[in-house]
Structure 1
Amino acid sequence: MQETNQTNSDLYEIPPDQLKNAHSKKIVAGICGILLGGLGVHKFYLGYITPGIIMVLITLITPWFTCGFGAIVMGIIGLIEGILYLTKSDKDFYETYILNSKGWF
C-alpha cells in the first residue's frame, strides 16, 4: 500500500474567480490590519465578528485600567496579522481564512 502526502488543497482545484476574490480580500484585510489593526477592522472585513468585537473592546476599554497596554497589544496583533495576510499566497489565504475561517493568526 502506497502512502501519499497529499493535503486537502491537492485534492481539489480552487476556481479562478474565488482566487481573485481571495486576492482582493487579502490585500484589503492586510492593509487594514497594518493600519487599523487595534480596532479589528480587518476582522470585520473578513466576517469574523466576534474576534473583531473583542479587539475593539480591548482597545477602547482596557486603556482605563492598563494605561493603554491592551491597545498596544491589539495594535501589535493587528500588525502581525496584516503582515501574515499579505505574505500568504492567494491559495493559502483562501484555504486558511475564507474556507477554514481561522480567526486568530
Structure 2
Amino acid sequence: MTNPQYQQYPPAGVSDKSKLVAGLLGILLGGFGVGRFYMGDTKTGVLQLVVTIVTCGLGGIWGFIDGILILINGGVDGQGRPLRDS
C-alpha cells in the first residue's frame, strides 16, 4: 500500500504536462509544433510543422497563436486530461 504523502504523480484527472511550458513552447517554437509535441498531440504537431514548411514559414503564426490560447484557456494533453497550471 502506498502512502499518499509520497505520491509522485499528479491525480489521474490532471496531466503531468504544464500549461505554462506548453504555451511558451508554442509561442517560441510553435512553427515546428514543439508545444503540441510536448503535450502529446503528435498529429497536430506534425500538421503545424508541415504547414510551416509548405508556406515557407508563414504558417508559423498558427503555432504562435496556439501558444497564446493555451496560456489563456489551458488545454488538454494527448490523453485528454487538462494541463496542470504550474
Q: TM exceeds 0.5?
A: yes
Equivalent of 1:56, from 42, 46, 49?
A: 49
Give the TM-score, by structure 1 length: 0.53
CA distance in 2: counterparts of 1:79 and 1:35, whole angstroms: 7
4+ residue runs over 4 A deviation = none
CA distance in 2: counterparts of 1:20 and 1:37, whole angstroms: 20
Considering only aligned residues, what root-mean-square deviation do their CA atoms show, in Å?
A: 2.6
Q: What amino acid is the match of 1:60?
A: I
Q: Flag the structure with more relative contact order, 1 or 2, with Cα contacts below 8 A and sequence separation at least 6.
A: 2
Give the aligned length: 70
Higher helix share: 1
Matched, 1:80 2:72: no
Instruction: Give unmatched runs, 5+ long, in structure 2.
Output: 1-9
CA distance in 2: counterparts of 1:20 and 1:49, whole angstroms: 16
Equivalent of 1:21, from 16, 20, 30?
A: 16
Q: Deviations over 1:14-64 (max 9, x none)?
A: xxx345835x2x11110011011111111111111111112112222442x
Give the TM-score, by structure 2 length: 0.63
| Alignment map for 1:8-47 (pairs within 5 Å) | 17-18=10-11, 19=14, 21-22=16-17, 24=18, 26-47=19-40
Q: Could you tell me the percent identity over the aligned residues?
A: 39
Pair 1:47–1:20, CA change in 2 (3 A): closer
Pair 1:62–1:76, CA change in 2 (3 A): closer
